[in-house]
Structure 1
Amino acid sequence: MVSIVFVPFAAQGHVAPMLQLARALVADRGDVSVTVAVPDFIHRRMGQYRGAGVSLASIPTGVQDVGGDEPPGAAAIVHAMEHHMPSQLEGMLTKKMLQGGVSCVVVDLLASWAIPVAERCGLPIVGFWVGMQATYRSVAVIPELLSKGFVSGSGTLLLKDGINEDHYIKDHDLGDLHIFSPKVKLRAKDLPWLVSGAVSQKTRFAFWLEIVNRAKSLHSIILNSFPGEDSGDSYQYDPPWGQQILHVGPVLLSEDLKKTTSMWQADQTCIDWLDKQSPVSVIYVSFGSWAAPIEPDKITGFARGLEASGRPFLWALKNHPSWRAGLPDGYAEKIAGRGKIVSWAPQDDVLKHEAVGCYIMHSGWNSVLESLRHGVRMICYPICGDHFINCAYVANMWEAGIALPSSDENDVKDCVERVMEGEEGRRLQEKVNQLREMITGDAVCVAKRNLNLFMEGINNN
C-alpha cells in the first residue's frame, strides 16, 4: 500500500485543491491512501469529510480558536506554522512510519515549514503549488533579483541605479526584468510581497524567500495549473537542475473531484433562484474565502454599481459586520427580486449554471480556474497576494476578462456593461471558450500523465 501524507497551507483555497488531488490519486488506484494533515481549527470545520482512501488528520496549532465562521488571524497562523506545528507533524509522521510506513509527503509550498520536518524523518518530499506557474516564478526569481541588485533585502525594488525612488517604482513596468512577458503588463506593486507598509513588506518578503530556499531541494513540484498558461510565450520558469514541474490542474477540475467539504455552509437556495433567471443574465460576485474584508466604502460602491447595472446579481458576501458594514441602509429590500445576497454560495454549481453571464471576483486562482472551466467571463478586482498577477493574466495575456479600475459605482456599472454587452463582451466570451476547450481537452491528458509520473516517482524511490 502506498501511503501519502499531504500538508496544505491553512486556508480553504489551499485545502480544497489538495483534497481534490488526493481524490484524483486514489480514484483509479486501489493501493493508494492519502492522509491530509490540516491545522486543528480547519479540522474542526471540515472534520466531517469522508472519502474512499482519503482522510483528514488534525495538527495541533496552539492557536486560540473562538469558532464561528472566521478562522484565527493570519499572524497567529504563521507563527504556529514555524514554532508549534513542526513538532506536532513530526510526531504524527513518526507514528505513521511505525504503524506501516509513509511513502511520500506532499507539501504545499506555502506550508514550507513541513519540508525540514519531512527531511528529518528521512521521507521523500514533493512540493505543491496551489497557483499558476507564473506566480511561482514571481517568487522563485527572488534570489536572482537579490544577486543582481534589483531588490533590497527587505524586498524593495531598486530599478534606478540602485536607488529606491518610490514614485518611480510604484507603477514601474516589470518587462525589463524578464520575469514575465511584456504582454502581461505587470507593475512592480503587483509582486506578491509588495504589500502596504514597510514592516509587512519585509515580513512577507522573508516568508517568500524562505519558501524558495526550502523548495530548492525538492525533486518535483506539482502545479495546480495547466501547460500553456503563458499562451506559447517563451517566459517560462527555469527550475533548478533536475527539478521536475508537473502541471495537474485540469484533472482537479473534474466535477466529481470538486465535491469536497467546505469550511462554510453553502446556501443551496442560490440554484433555485438562478433557475428563475434568463440565460447568461446574472452577475455572480464573490471575493473568496481568505482575502481580508473589503473596506465599507468599497462595498458601498459595489452595491450601488450592481444596483445601477439593472441586471440580476448573486452576491456571496460573508454575513459578518466586517464584510457587510458598507451595504447601504435598506439595500436588501431595494434589490429584492433582482438581487440575492448569501453568506456562501456553492460556487462550482453557480458557475456552471446557464443563467450566469459574468463573475466579479478577487482573482483567486481557484476561482479563475473554475470560471475558465465553466466558460464564464471575468471582471477582476484583486485584493492581495497572487491576485494581481492572476488578474494581469486574465485581462492582458488571455483577454478572458477585464480589470476593474476601482470599486466606484460608475466603474462597476461600466465594466458590467462592457462584459455583458456588445462586441467586447462577445470577444471576451470567445477567448474564454478557447481556454475552456484547452483545459478540458488535451491539457487533461497531460495532467493525467503527470499524475502517473508522480506515482512512478514514489514507486521507484
Structure 2
Amino acid sequence: MGTGRKPVDGDGDGAASAVVFLVPFPAQGHVTPMLHLARALAARGDVAPTVVLPDFIHRRVVRAGGNGGGGGVALASFPSGIPDGDDGDGAPGFASILHAMENRMPAHLERVLMLMRDDDDDRLATAGRRAACLTVVVDVLASWAVPVAARCGVAAVGFWPAMLASYRVVAAIPELIDRGLVSEYGIPILVNGFNKNQGQVKANLQAEIISLFPEELELSTTDLPWLVGDAATQKSRFAFWLRTMERVKTLRCILVNSFPGEAIAAGADQQQALPQDQQILQVGPLLATIVTDRAKDNSNLRCSPMKTTKNDTSTCQADDRTSCMEWLDQQLPGSVAYVSFGTWVAPIAPGEITELAVGLEATGRPFLWVLKDDPSWRAGLPAGYTDQYFGRGKIVAWAPQEDVLAHGAVGCYLTHCGWNSTLEAIRHGVRMLCYPVAGDQFINCAYIVRAWGVGIRLRSADRGEVVDCVGRIMEGEDGRRLREKLDELRERVMAGEALCVAKRNIEEFIRGISGQRLQ
C-alpha cells in the first residue's frame, strides 16, 4: 500500500507525534464524515491521518478530489476483490462488501500496521528521535479492523458516523438478547403470546424495548434500526450486528458524529445500554466548513474546505452541477421542493415512485428530484415524465447536495432522513419533509419531527399526502413554526458552544493517543 505521504512536522524530527489510520465502512454516507474527521485531526498539524479505502471507493474519491485526501490527509487503497464493473454507477451489494471486509482487507491492513509499528520501534532506538504513536480509528460498521489492530498491538478507537441515540440502541443488542426481548435474529419476542393476556404481554414487551428511546419520540419496536428487508435479509444483517457489537465492546472510546444536546436527556435505561467504561466523545457535526471553522484558531492549520457532495461517482458531475444550479437560478426564492433518498440502494417501490411523481406534479410547484438513472430506481415513473416536466420539475441522476441546499430557491427537502443529509439540512436552514425508509432513519425522523420540531412526517407517498404536506411545509402557520425552530437549532448546532465542545473533544482524543502505546 502506498500513501504518498510526506513527513509531517510535529516535534522537530520530521515525524508526526501521532499517526492515525482511519477505516470507514465502504459506503459514501460513512466515507464522507470519516474524511471530515481526518481533516479535523490533520488541522492540528502534529497528526498524520490516512484514510484506508477499498479500491472501488478509492477510485471515486480520487476522481472527485484528486490523488489525495487534501488538507493534510492521505488516502490508501486496499484490494477488495470486487470486480471493477460490480459497482457500476452505484455500489456493490452488502454481501460483496461484507466478504471483502472479512476476507480480503484484514491481511492488507495487518501488514501495513506491522510495518508501521516496527518503524516506530526502530525510531525509539534512535537517540534524539521520537516514535510516532500509531492509532486506528475504526468505523463501528467496519469492525473487522478491531481484531486486526489487536493482533498488531495497536490502539483502536471507534467512530459512529450517526446520532448517539442510534448508537445507544445498537449497543443494547447483547442485553436485549440476554433478557429475552429479541431473538437471535433481532425479532422482538412475544413471550406466552397465545393466551388471553397476549395484549398485556405485548405491551410490556414493547415498553421494555422502547425504554431505550425517550418517551417523547413515540417510537415502536418496528423502528429498531436492524429490522431491514425480508426475513432472510434481517437474519443475515442481525448476525452482522451481533459480531460488530461483540468486537466494538472492547473499544475504550467511541467518537460520535453528533453534537451536545442532539438528543432528549437519556434516562437510566438508555445510559445502561452503553458498554461500561466506554468513553463517548461527541465530535460533530462533521461537515466541511464546520471542520474548517473549528481549526481557525490553530496556528498549524492545514485544513482546506472539502468538496462535500454525496455521490461523487460520475465523470460528468461538472455538467450535472452546472445544470442543477442554472435551473435553480431560474426559480423563485423558497419555491423549490428538493427530493433525494440517498445514493446506495433503491429506496422505495415502483408504486411509491408513481404516487410521488404524480403528487409532486399536483403541487404545482417546481421540484428538483435526484433519482439515479437506473431501471431499479426509476421503475414506476409515468411514461415520458422526465420530458414532460422538464420545465417545472427536474429529475437528475446526481446533484451537488450541499450547493442545492444552500441555494435560496430551495424551500423544503423531502428526505429519507439519513444522518448526513439531516446535518446538511440543519446547516443550511432547510425544512424537512421526512420519509424514512430503513435503518436509523426512523430514529432520525423522530428527532427531526418530535424532538426538534423542524420537519413534518410524510406518512405515505400517496399523491394527496404529498400535496398536503408540501403545502403545509412551504407556507402557512406550519411553515413559519418550522422555520423558527430550525433557526434556533441551526444556531445551537452549527455555532457557539457545540463547536467548542467538538473541538475540545477532538483535542482530548489527540492528547489521549499522543505518547501512548498498547503493550
TM-score tier by shorter-chain length is: over 0.9
> What secondary structure sits across from 1:250 in the alignment?
coil
The higher relative CO (CA closer than 8 Å, separation ≥ 6) is in: 2
1:176 shift after superposition: 6.2
Look up the match of 1:371: 425
Cα distance in 1, alignment partners of residues 104 and 210 from structure 2: 38
Contact between 1:86 and 1:113, CA under 8 Å: does it hold in 2?
A: yes
Cα distance in 1, alignment partners of residues 163 and 360 from structure 2: 30
Check if 1:309 corresponds to 2:363. yes
Check if 1:18 corresponds to 2:34. yes
TM-score, normalised relative to structure 1:
0.93
Q: Are the structure 2 counterparts of residues 369 and 169 from structure 1 closer, same or farther at C-alpha, using a change threshold of 3 Å?
A: farther
Cα distance in 2, alignment partners of residues 307 and 226 from structure 1: 37
Check if 1:198 corresponds to 2:246. no
Q: 1:18-417 to 2 correspondence within 5 Å?
A: 18-27=34-43, 29-48=44-63, 49=65, 50=68, 51-66=70-85, 68-99=88-119, 103-161=134-192, 177-232=210-265, 234=267, 236-238=270-272, 239-252=274-287, 254=289, 257-260=305-308, 262-265=311-314, 266=317, 267-268=320-321, 269-417=323-471
Contact between 2:117 and 2:134, CA under 8 Å: does it hold in 1?
A: no
> What secondary structure sits across from 2:51 in the alignment?
strand
Cα distance in 1, alignment partners of residues 445 and 94 from structure 2: 23
Contact between 1:282 and 1:357, CA under 8 Å: does it hold in 2?
A: yes
**Once structures 1 and 2 are overlaid, which stretch shifts more, 244-253 or 232-241?**
232-241
1:298 shift after superposition: 1.4
Bigger radius of gyration = 2
Residue type of the partner of 1:158?
Answer: I
**Once structures 1 and 2 are overlaid, which stretch shifts more, 259-268 or 35-44?**
259-268
Residue type of the partner of 2:141?
Answer: L
Cα distance in 2, alignment partners of residues 73 and 149 from structure 1: 32
**Once structures 1 and 2 are overlaid, which stretch shifts more, 394-403 or 286-295?**
286-295
Q: Which of 444, 447, 452 lines up with 2:502 in the alignment?
A: 447
Cα distance in 2, alignment partners of residues 450 and 161 from structure 1: 47
Q: Are the structure 2 counterparts of residues 176 and 218 from structure 1 closer, same or farther at C-alpha, using a change threshold of 3 Å?
A: closer
Structure 1 portions without partners, runs of 5+ = none
Q: What percentage of residue pairs aligned between the two structures are identical? A: 55
1:112 shift after superposition: 0.5
Contact between 1:352 and 1:374, CA under 8 Å: does it hold in 2?
A: yes
RMSD: 2.4
Contact between 1:359 and 1:377, CA under 8 Å: does it hold in 2?
A: yes
Contact between 1:278 and 1:355, CA under 8 Å: does it hold in 2?
A: yes
> What secondary structure sits across from 1:80 in the alignment?
helix
Residue type of the partner of 1:294?
Answer: I
Residue type of the partner of 1:96?
Answer: M
